[in-house]
Chain A
Amino acid sequence: MCKLQVIQACLLCLLRGSVALPLNCADESSSPVPCTSISQDKLLDRVTQHAEFIYRITEEVCNQYEELYIPYPLRGLKNQGGGTCTSMSFPNLGSKTEIQQISDMRLLHYMLILAQSWVEPLTYLQSSLKNNDHAPDTLVSQLKWVSDKLTRLEQGVVLLISMMQEEGGAAPPPAALQQALSEPQLGVPDSIFHEYNSLMCLKKDAHKMETLLKLLKCRQTDRLSCTL
């Protein structure tokens, strides 16, 4: 755990520097910072790093929350009030074999939707924690950080999609994907379990994104970490 925290800190430092550059170089007028074009591999690396960081921070937030509010027997138990984080109806991403059958573009789209779906709940979560006055400030600030990084990740994924679309990848209609995702059932709003379930779902989705991106990275490039 100590080692993880060190790596996490290093990654945070890296990301804070690395995410300063705007990802979308096409829109030059929007930002005063000069846009530098980035290669697809590097962009994929950056996005993957974002996902790793998001997962680590979210895991830490969950653990803190558990220790503060959740009695031990109930830990790990989700959905006290029933419901799932995301619908299973979307192309089944439950197993490796299933995922390996999905194309890169679809994966990217999925991740985009996933990232977009969390923007609003995160805002809600932060306000909920602030309003209740029971969460320490570190939790709130970390959630804020996660929210920011998620936004950047989303931007990166958008850029990747555009890059890959130029290569000739077929894009599924976004509307269909949007409908596939059901509203997560998190329980009674403004309750402890609601927040806890929300955090747990966030953590899971972050892990999912990280795994998918790593898979995507190995597919796209010939990397030593994949071949060995």
Chain B
Amino acid sequence: ATMWTDSVMLAGLTLTAIFVSHTAGVSAPGRPRLTGCRSPEKETFTCWWEPGDDGGLPTTYALYYHLEGSETVYECPDYRTAGKNSCFFSKNNTSLWVNYNISVVATNAMGSSVSEPVDVDVVYIVQPNTPEDVRVLVVDDDPGPYLHVSWEKPLAADTQSGWITLVYQLRVKETSQDTWEEYNAGMQKGYNIFSLLSGREYAVQVRCKPDHGFWSEWTSPAYVQIPDYMLREHSMWIIVAVFAGFLLFVLTWTVNVKRSSVKHCLLPPVPGPKIRGFDPHLLKSGRSEEMFSALVTQHFPPTSSYDDLLVEYLEVYDVEKQELVLGVKNEDPLAPTRTSDNDSGRGSCDSRTLLTERYAEDGDKGGADRQLGQCVAELASPPLEEEKVEAWSTPFSPPPLHLQRQQVGGARAAYHSVLEIPCDSPCAPGSYGHQGESDISKPGGRGASTTLAEPQAQSAEYVEVQTVDHENVLLLRPLADPGGPDVDYAGEDYSKIRDVIPDNVLLLQREPSAWPCAADPGQDRGERSCPTALQELMQPCKPPGPLQQGLRLVANGYVDASAMLC
């Protein structure tokens, strides 16, 4: 009974204990965990663990290890040096190139638990300490300052004997930025950093690594301030920019001052039309009358009417007789080709053709007659080369007699032959007017009177050219009395030749009616030109009214002395 009572009491106590323990929350400790082992210099190493649940009771931890190939289990020699939950293996306890099998045991009142074993070879877990004594220096240099960073090896690492070989790395960043700039420094213990911005603060850190192992932690940052400086290139560029700006300003000012000449040089003005006598300013002013009047010269534009161009004297011969007399009509090489010569611009007109036309058509044609007044001086000399020279050279001297005679046979201007015509009766005073060239008519006179010259002096008739119409047709009307004062002319007059005195001088008879012609025979230009002396010889011609009255001696090269001598 007592035995049964004891066992029951024991069971009851155990159950109570278990119950109490469970309600109090205590249990065996949970499994700890080895977090890692590290060797800073390949001579010692440390292992850390993480405790598991302690089960509510004070728990102790113990680290046990054994070397590979050996069954001997050792306990951690040093729990304190490396801190809590750590085990430090000193040099004597460290073997290289040998695996350590390490495990941690947690024990409390309720029980114990063992961690997972870990195999560690010391040579593979080397992680050095951080480098020592990091210093940063600002070095002033050209073009700008740079940083010189220097440091020392970690204290425990034995690099001198070659036991451990370390390589270093550093990083820099501006304190306000987030990204680091990393540099590898190899095995050296100093490094220069360039191209840092002026006036900024930088932080520098260094770390190291063995040839086979892990990187150390970064050193605490070293701060440095870069002084303010101006890059030499910047100051140079500023100077260049200022200088260029100054040059640009000077250039712009010069161009502005001389802008007109620059404009003239770059954009030369287009030359405008240059019309002589044309004044564009007048045009601008709007006074067109003045402008146009300035354009008017003596010769242009012709302001006279057709009437001014009328032939004043026209001697018309009968065609057949003319042919006999002339005999050269057909021989004139030029004549047939110019049946209608209405070239009014030719001063040296083809008197031949004019005469031919006139003769051929009884004076109906007169297109070229306009020129005759101008041509008078020229008509006297045929377009023979030799004669031309002589004739033109002495416009106011009587032509040599022989000239005229030579022309008889020539197939030249009709009037030359006509000059011979009056051989029949040229000398009769008063009848000279009948003779002569029909071509010796002067244009420009108002109311032309023509003398109709015939081989017979008495047969000469005077016709008056009334008008010249637009087709160069002379409208003639016969004159009743060529020499009579009662001839109905409007202001015309012509003079009769009273006598010819031996010195080839014509004595003109003054007529009451004045012929509006120029007194000077040489003055034969224009439409109002007076017939030459020759013409006057042939036609009674009076000088202009208010001018010379009475006899007029005409000593003119155009005087046909041959006629006198007849």
Q: Do the two chains belong together in a single complex?
A: yes
Chain A interface residues toward B at CB < 8 A: 52, 55, 76-79, 82-84, 88, 93-97, 100, 204-205, 207-208, 211, 214-219, 223-228
Instruction: Report chain A residues within 8 Å CB of B121.
Output: 204
Majority secondary structure, B binding face: loop
Instruction: Report chain B residues within 8 Å CB of A214.
Output: 162-163, 165
Complex-state Cα separation, A97 to B118, whole angstroms: 26
What is the minimal beta-carbon distance from A227 to any residue of chain B, in angstroms?
Answer: 6
CB-based contact B163/A215 at 8 Å: yes
| In the complex with contacts A78-B119, A95-B94, A96-B43, A226-B161 CB distance below 8 A | yes
Instruction: Report chain A residues within 8 Å CB of B95.
Output: 94-95
CB-based contact B68/A228 at 8 Å: no
Instruction: Report chain A residues within 8 Å CB of B68.
Output: 78-79, 84
Complex-state Cα separation, A79 to B69, whole angstroms: 8
Type the 1/0 row for B62-94, where 1 means its CB is closer than 8 Å to any CB of A.
Answer: 000000110000000000000000000001101
Type the 1/0 row for B122-141, where 1 means its CB is closer than 8 Å to any CB of A.
Answer: 01000000000000000000
Instruction: Report chain B residues within 8 Å CB of A95.
Output: 43, 91-92, 94-96
CB-based contact A93/B161 at 8 Å: no
CB-based contact B188/A208 at 8 Å: no
| In the complex with contacts A215-B161, A219-B162, A228-B187 CB distance below 8 A | yes
Our pick among A79, A216, A227 for the contact of B99 (Cβ within 8 Å) is A79
Q: A94-B96, A95-B96 are in contact. List 15 more A-B contacts (CB 8 A).
A: A79-B68, A79-B69, A79-B99, A94-B98, A95-B91, A95-B92, A96-B163, A208-B97, A211-B123, A214-B162, A214-B165, A215-B163, A223-B162, A227-B160, A228-B159
21 contacts between A and B (CB under 8 A): A79-B99, A82-B69, A83-B69, A88-B69, A93-B96, A94-B97, A95-B43, A95-B91, A95-B94, A96-B163, A97-B91, A207-B97, A208-B97, A214-B162, A215-B163, A216-B162, A218-B161, A223-B162, A226-B159, A228-B159, A228-B188
CB-based contact B162/A88 at 8 Å: no
Our pick among B91, B98, B162 for the contact of A218 (Cβ within 8 Å) is B162
Instruction: Report chain B residues within 8 Å CB of A94.
Output: 94-98
Instruction: Report chain A residues within 8 Å CB of B189.
Output: 228
What is the minimal beta-carbon distance from B418 to any residue of chain A, in angstroms?
Answer: 128
Complex-state Cα separation, A228 to B188, whole angstroms: 8
What is the minimal beta-carbon distance from A206 to any residue of chain B, in angstroms?
Answer: 10
Our pick among B94, B159, B161 for the contact of A219 (Cβ within 8 Å) is B161
CB-based contact B161/A204 at 8 Å: no
Our pick among A96, A204, A219 for the contact of B158 (Cβ within 8 Å) is A96
Type the 1/0 row for B144-162, where 1 means its CB is closer than 8 Å to any CB of A.
Answer: 0000000001000011111
What is the minimal beta-carbon distance from B96 to any residue of chain A, in angstroms?
Answer: 5
CB-based contact B187/A88 at 8 Å: no
Our pick among A78, A205, A207, A225 for the contact of B162 (Cβ within 8 Å) is A225
**Which positions 87-116 of chain B face chain A at CB distance < 8 Å?**
91-92, 94-99
B42 adjacent to chain A (CB < 8 Å): yes
B212 adjacent to chain A (CB < 8 Å): yes
CB-based contact B42/A96 at 8 Å: yes
Complex-state Cα separation, A221 to B32, whole angstroms: 49
Complex-state Cα separation, A88 to B94, whole angstroms: 14
Complex-state Cα separation, A214 to B95, whole angstroms: 19
Type the 1/0 row for B204-232, where 1 means its CB is closer than 8 Å to any CB of A.
Answer: 00000001100000000000000000000
**Which positions 418-460 of chain B face chain A at CB distance < 8 Å?**
none
List 6 tightest A-B contacts by C-beta distance, closest first.
A218-B162, A94-B95, A84-B69, A214-B162, A76-B119, A226-B162
CB-based contact A93/B97 at 8 Å: yes
Most chain A beta carbons < 10 A, residue from B97, B153, B159, B212? B97
| In the complex with contacts A78-B119, A93-B97, A95-B94, A217-B162 CB distance below 8 A | yes
Instruction: Report chain A residues within 8 Å CB of B92.
Output: 95
Instruction: Report chain B residues within 8 Å CB of A96.
Output: 42-43, 91, 96, 158, 163
Instruction: Report chain A residues within 8 Å CB of B91.
Output: 95-97
CB-based contact B160/A218 at 8 Å: yes
Most chain A beta carbons < 10 A, residue from B97, B159, B162? B162
Most chain A beta carbons < 10 A, residue from B123, B163, B188? B163
Complex-state Cα separation, A95 to B92, whole angstroms: 8
What is the minimal beta-carbon distance from B171 to any residue of chain A, in angstroms?
Answer: 16
Instruction: Report chain B residues within 8 Å CB of A84.
Output: 68-69, 98
Instruction: Report chain B residues within 8 Å CB of A88.
Output: 69, 98
CB-based contact B212/A226 at 8 Å: no
Our pick among A83, A208, A226 for the contact of B160 (Cβ within 8 Å) is A226
Most chain A beta carbons < 10 A, residue from B69, B98, B119, B160? B69
Complex-state Cα separation, A214 to B163, whole angstroms: 7
Complex-state Cα separation, A79 to B70, whole angstroms: 11
Complex-state Cα separation, A111 to B179, whole angstroms: 47
Complex-state Cα separation, A94 to B43, whole angstroms: 10
Give the nearest-CB partner of A77 in chain B: B119
Complex-state Cα separation, A16 to B213, whole angstroms: 26
Instruction: Report chain B residues within 8 Å CB of A79.
Output: 68-69, 99
Complex-state Cα separation, A214 to B160, whole angstroms: 11
Instruction: Report chain A residues within 8 Å CB of B160.
Output: 218, 226-227
Give the nearest-CB partner of B121 in chain A: A204
What is the minimal beta-carbon distance from B490 to any residue of chain A, in angstroms?
Answer: 131
Complex-state Cα separation, A83 to B162, whole angstroms: 31
Complex-state Cα separation, A113 to B542, whole angstroms: 162
Our pick among A55, A76, A228 for the contact of B212 (Cβ within 8 Å) is A55
What is the minimal beta-carbon distance from A202 to any residue of chain B, in angstroms?
Answer: 12
Type the 1/0 row for B173-212, where 1 means its CB is closer than 8 Å to any CB of A.
Answer: 0000000000000011100000000000000000000011
Complex-state Cα separation, A218 to B188, whole angstroms: 16
Instruction: Report chain B residues within 8 Å CB of A228.
Output: 153, 159, 187-189
Complex-state Cα separation, A96 to B40, whole angstroms: 14
Complex-state Cα separation, A100 to B43, whole angstroms: 12
Most chain B beta carbons < 10 A, residue from A100, A207, A217? A207
CB-based contact A204/B159 at 8 Å: no
Give the nearest-CB partner of A48 in chain B: B162
Complex-state Cα separation, A100 to B119, whole angstroms: 26
